[in-house]
Amino acid sequence: MARPIIIVNCKTYPQATGKNAVRLAKLCETAAGKYNADIRIAVQATDISLVAKSVGIPVYAQHVDPASPGQSTGWITAHAIKAAGARGSLVNHAEHRLDNTTIAASVDALRREQLDAIVCAESVQRLQEIDAAAAGAMMLCVEPPELIGGDISVSVARPEIVTHAVGATKRPLLIGAGIKTGEDLAIALRLGAKGVLLASGIVLAKDQAAALKNLLAER
């Protein structure tokens, strides 16, 4: 069985900031080996170096700008996140949306640095637009915004979205929004997704290690 791809997005939660980001990344690394999963973690830009030095699993930025290195103050460049130890970045997360031109430029910037570009979309239609615009994306992810942070996952509440999204692209597809349990993951994989992008189900859990076990142990 192929190893599912799990990207844990720390967002800006205090429970996954600074030393807490390192702690969670180490839990993810342990779970990856124990449950034979490809677990990656997306952290705030300020935490990339700290986390990347602490674990061997892939560390991603949560956002990258299409600016080139040089005379550009206040931007997060692909060159900078690579220097900090990131293996890639999320692009166009529902909480940091971009237009298609900016998405394409951001993906190009990542690819020039030989970094992974995981591009998010809020719907299947948007997924198709991004699929056409961002030729260098390594993976796509569909996340209905109305289900993000909720109690019911997209794989349970709207499985047809997963099916339609899988059929809409030839790229590897992740799904996100409300993912928490092994059942959520199993349904996503059964419908053709390669894995999931999740945040609160792990980050905000009282016992993050137990939440990872609940996601992965019985798939």
Q: Is residue 182 part of a domain?
A: yes
Residues tagged active-site: 93, 143
Q: Is residue 218 part of a domain?
A: no
Q: Is residue 140 part of a domain?
A: yes
How does pLDDT run along the chain (219 residues), one tens digit per residue? 578 999 999 999 999 999 999 999 999 999 999 999 999 999 999 999 999 999 999 999 999 999 999 989 999 999 999 999 999 999 999 899 999 999 999 999 999 999 999 999 988 888 888 888 888 888 899 876 554 555 655 555 567 777 777 777 888 899 876 677 888 888 888 888 899 999 989 999 999 999 999 899 865
- The structural domain count of the chain equals 1
Tell me what pLDDT residue 14 has: 98
Tally of CB atoms within 10 A around 49: 16
Q: Is residue 126 part of a domain?
A: yes
pTM over 0.85? The answer is: yes
- Dihedral angle sign, alpha carbons of residues 189, 17, 201, 210: positive
Tally of CB atoms within 10 A around 57: 23
Q: Is residue 41 part of a domain?
A: yes
Partnered with residue 40 across adjacent β-strands are 7
Q: Is residue 9 part of a domain?
A: yes
Decide: 174 and 4 in contact? Cβ < 8 Å.
no
Tell me what pLDDT residue 190 has: 86
Q: Is residue 96 part of a domain?
A: yes
Whole-angstrom distance, CA of residue 215 vs CA of residue 219: 8
Q: Is residue 143 part of a domain?
A: yes
Q: Which domain holds residue 129?
A: 5-187+196-212
CATH number at residue 81: 3.20.20.70
